[in-house]
Amino acid sequence: MTLNAYLILSTIIFSIGLIGVLRRKNVLMLFFSTEIMLNAVNIGLAAISKFHGDLTGQMFAFFIIAVAASEVAIGLGLLILWYKRTGSINLDDIAKMKG
């Protein structure tokens, strides 16, 4: 496969994730869409790294995976606490939260 094929695939997957972030009102689906976007970036970085013959892009992808794992751990923990308090994970309800 060529580099363009990988980059087109990465763009399509990123667009799907972006649409999910913009259109969803459920926080859990927002997390899933963000993960899809991060995985699309990882595909692009790994493909560019492979075609240039260095490991820089793969190292960036590794760090993105680490950041995504920490985001999920902290985000889901907060989401569980919020659901126990309110019984809802709707973004509109969370936006109404006051200090």
* CATH code of the domain in which 43 resides: 1.10.287.3510
Amino acid code (one letter) for 78: L
Please report, in angstroms and rounded to a whole number, the separation of the first and last CA atoms in the chain: 52
Tens digits of per-residue pLDDT, 30-66? Answer: 889 999 999 999 999 999 999 999 999 899 999 999 9
* Cβ–Cβ under 8 Å, residues 7 and 44: yes
pLDDT: is 93 or 21 the higher one?
21
Q: Which of 92, 66, 89 is nearest to 78 (CA)?
A: 89
pLDDT over threshold 70, residue 97: no
Is residue 83 within 8 Å of 89, Cβ to Cβ? yes
Predicted confidence (pLDDT) at residue 72 exceeds the cutoff of 90: no
Number of domains in the chain: 1
Residue 18 domain boundaries = 3-95
pTM of the complete model = 0.82
